[in-house]
Amino acid sequence: MTRPRTDYLWIAVFAVLVTFAIPWFLWRDATTWAGLPVWLWWHVGWMLLASVAFYLFTRGAWDRGMDVDRGV
For the chain, domain boundaries: 5-65
CB under 8 A, 24+ apart: contacts of 2-9: 4/64, 6/60, 6/61, 7/61, 7/65
Is the pTM higher than 0.85? The answer reads: no
Q: What is the pLDDT of residue 1?
A: 47
4-43 pLDDT, tens per residue? 787 788 889 999 999 988 888 877 878 888 888 888 899 9
Q: What is the pLDDT of residue 52?
A: 93
Task: Give 14 or 62, the one with higher predicted confidence.
Answer: 14
